[in-house]
């Protein structure tokens, strides 16, 4: 069984990029889509930045919805986003660009519907 990656420093880096939905101060939100170890948080390489409102607190927060449907409504592939963030190797400018580009593309998709 593959060991799970855990890094507080990496989660802090992801959170520093700002919410992918609204740009506000963020948490590192674990993406559970395709994660089969029930009861265990996914590896930290599967985190994306979400503010408390979009992550846990708002009426339509990620944790209060079917996660796959929630991300589909946002127009974002969270696993691809997590992968692109990982590929920035902790470079803030690159990570910030990846998150803003995901948000921009999601907005373009939403406005065309």
Q: What is the pLDDT of residues 64-110, one digit of tens each?
A: 989 999 999 999 999 999 999 999 999 999 999 999 999 888 776 55
**pLDDT at 19 > cutoff 50:** yes
Q: How far is the CA of 14 from the CAs of 1, 38, 81, 110, in angstroms? A: 26, 24, 11, 24
* pLDDT, average across residues 37-43: 74
Which residue pairs from 95-102 have beta carbons closer than 8 angstroms and sit at least 24 positions apart in sequence?
A: 95/13, 95/14, 95/16, 95/17, 96/17, 96/18, 98/17, 99/17, 99/18, 99/20, 99/49, 100/23, 102/20, 102/76
Q: How far is the CA of 56 from the CAs of 1, 5, 88, 100, in angstroms? A: 30, 23, 26, 21
The answer to whether 55 touches 90, Cβ cutoff 8 Å, is no
In the chain, % of residues over pLDDT 90: 71
* 5 or 57, greater pLDDT: 57
Alpha helices in the chain (DSSP H): 8-16, 52, 67-74, 78-86, 92-112
- Residue 88: its pLDDT value, please? 96
Of the candidates 46, 62, 38, the residue with the CA atom closest to the CA atom of residue 11: 46
């Amino acid at each position: 069984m593959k060991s799970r990656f855990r890094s507080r420093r990496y989660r802090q880096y992801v959170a520093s990029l700002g919410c992918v939905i609204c740009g506000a101060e963020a948490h590192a939100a674990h993406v559970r889509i395709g994660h089969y170890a029930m009861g265990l948080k996914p590896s930290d390489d599967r985190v994306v930045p979400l503010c408390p409102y979009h992550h846990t607190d708002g009426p339509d927060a990620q944790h209060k919805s079917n996660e796959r449907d929630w991300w589909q409504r946002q127009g974002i592939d969270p696993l691809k986003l997590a992968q692109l963030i990982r590929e920035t190797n902790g470079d803030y400018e690159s990570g910030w660009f990846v998150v803003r580009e995901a948000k921009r593309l999601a907005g373009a998709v939403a406005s065309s519907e």
